[in-house]
Amino acid sequence: MSDIKRRSKRLKAEFTFKHWREQGENETLAFCGCHLTHIQQKECLMKVKPITLANGDQEDRELKRALLGRLQWPATQSAPHLRASVSLLCGEVSQAKVSTAQQANKLLRFSTNNPDTGLKITQLFRVPGWILCPSHAL
């Protein structure tokens, strides 16, 4: 038995994940909407709609919260260039003004104009058989 197969068998015995999947040489692994060779969430970002402002009531605040919530997932998982802006705007939601909505829409426009920007995962080690174990909270 090869060294890689022996190590893989030991890992599978130690960590009883529900699913184990081996990635082929030129295969892209997908996890929670991310492609794990170049992590980006283009499909997720392109579905987000901007806020249309009406009269500044509670409903507008909920729209701002919803937009920022939709941007928060990519910002924390695959778009560090959005992280600070999303975080700062989330802090303004409780006292949100029209300018907060305008900034949120501007951030959405920036993210949808640059949907292919993301994180690139390169080979971590020069030995074959490394394992990437992504997870998320349920």
Supply the DSSP symbol for 30.
E
The answer to the question of residue 42 being in a domain is no
> Do 82 and 101 lie in a common domain?
yes
The answer to the question of residue 10 being in a domain is yes
Residue 16 lies in domain = 1-37+121-138
Instruction: Specify burial of residue 11 (Cβ count, 10 A radius: 0-12, 13-18, 19+).
Output: middle
Distance CA 73, CA 113 (A): 17
> What string of pLDDT tens digits covers the 138 residues of the chain?
677 778 878 888 888 777 776 666 666 666 666 566 656 677 778 888 888 876 655 567 788 888 888 888 888 888 888 889 999 999 888 887 788 888 999 999 998 888 777 776 655 555 555 566 655 554
> Alpha-carbon torsion 14, 20, 26, 29, what sign?
negative
The answer to the question of residue 91 being in a domain is yes
Distance CA 8, CA 85 (A): 41
| pTM above threshold 0.85 | no
**Any bridge partners for residue 31, and if so which?**
34
